[in-house]
Amino acid sequence: MIAKKSIKFVAILALVFTSFNVFAGGGETPSKGGQINTPESIKGYIKHHLADSHDFTLYSYTNDAGERKHVGFPLPVIVWTSKGLKTFMSSAFHHNDDGHVVVERGGVKFAKIHSKIYELDADAEHVKLDEAHHATNAHKVLDFSITKSVFGMLFAGLLMFLGFGSLAKGYKKGAIPTGVGRVLEPLVLYVRDEIARPNIGEKKYKKFMPYLLTVFFFIWILNLLGLTPIGFNVTGQIAVTMCLALFTAIIYLTNGSKDFWAHTLWMPGVPVVLRPILAVIELVGFVLIKPFSLLVRLFANITAGHFVVMSLIALMIVLKKDFGPIASTGMSFVLATFIMVIEVLVAFLQAFIFTMLSALFIGMAVEEHEHDHAHH
């Protein structure tokens, strides 16, 4: 037990050390692309980290010639333009977000403006900006690119596929799984016994177990990936949390029992005059408010956690002049390590809360009510 706790502690320390190294080494900022050594560049770096991107930047350094070099790898750009589907690698933009490098592929000119890809006019030689820094000769495209968030979701899906595949193979060999299956089995049983059964009921919980297991492990793995210095912030993207919340809403709305819809649309036991008003309130609650609470809770907690961790790491730069490099780095390290430990717990907690609330909403929708109202 002591050995296992020591391994976990060392893993957290290694994670924090790596984060410090990446931050101190200086990554690309949306504006200057230089080292992270000013409050403005820190804010830009944190904003850049929280946003999605078309490529990965692992770290940056300055060579002997004074040139800024970025180490990472590009991702595929897949866009639908006025001339159809166009594909190329994001390295065509030369790792320059605000330099507005014009890229021509298949007779179409592109530029990346504020981390988004635009199609330029056919006669455009460069990007023209107005006073509000909006492009006047560029048009939006349908972007189907494999961004960092998409890559993270695919990677999480692959891990789940391999993990649950191993668990299924383990059960074929015997009642007790081996390997990765032994790690997953307690978590699967936890979701079944502590989340699905109590909230949905013994009769109907099995139908929704695949979804609940998928959403739990999907969110949990992505939350843990977000704690690495690679740059993942998938569950901190509101589009991702919105889709997850919509999936939950679609499931409980399409599986709602007759009693659920009867009580929602024409609530018994209240005056007839109030029933239409209550029906509107109930529909708004189930269709809008409950999904909205799911997506905002996950998005806000994960984004806030990333922001706090990176802000605490940045203290070693902000306080360097006043307290010296040793004191500022030590203070930053202690605070960031403390928050990082909490974030490991939050990664599991947010997955648990989202799955628990999803099961609760599904249970409310599929619940069968007794029809003996003769005594009322």
On whether the CB atoms of residues 45 and 29 are closer than 8 A, the answer is: yes
Distance CA 200, CA 354 (A): 15
Query: Measuring CA to CA, how many Å separate 357 from each of 14, 64, 253, 261, 338?
Result: 34, 55, 14, 20, 28
- DSSP-derived pairing of the beta strands 84-89 and 138-140: unpaired
For 170-186, write each residue's pLDDT tens digit: 887 777 777 778 888 89
For 12-37, write each residue's pLDDT tens digit: 444 444 444 444 444 444 444 456 66
Identify the pLDDT of residue 99: 56
Three-point CA angle 27, 31, 33, nearest 5°: 35
What value does the CA radius of gyration of the chain take, rounded to a whole number of Å?
25
**Is the predicted pLDDT of residue 328 greater than 60, yes or no?**
yes
User: Which two tokens mark 217?
Assistant: 């492990």
For 183-236, write each residue's pLDDT tens digit: 888 999 999 999 999 999 898 999 999 999 999 999 999 999 988 877 788 999
Identify the pLDDT of residue 371: 53
Distance CA 358, CA 200 (A): 10
Q: What are the boundaries of each domain within the chain?
A: 76-145, 149-366
**Residues in CB range of 154: below 8 A, 6 or more apart:** 146
Which strand ranges, in their side-by-side order, compose the sheet holding 103-105?
Answer: 103-105, 108-113, 116-120, 138-140
Distance of CA 307 to the CA centre of its chain: 14
pLDDT band of residue 269 (cuts 50, 70, 90) is confident
Distance CA 349, CA 356 (A): 10
Which pTM was predicted?
0.83
Distance CA 220, CA 239 (A): 17
Q: What is the mean pLDDT of residues 40-49?
A: 76
Q: 267 or 345, which is more confident?
A: 345
Q: Kindly report the average pLDDT of the chain as a whole number.
A: 82
The DSSP output letter for 90 is: G
User: Which two tokens mark 331?
Assistant: 């203070």
Distance of CA 77 to the CA centre of its chain: 20
Percent of the chain scoring above 70 in pLDDT = 86
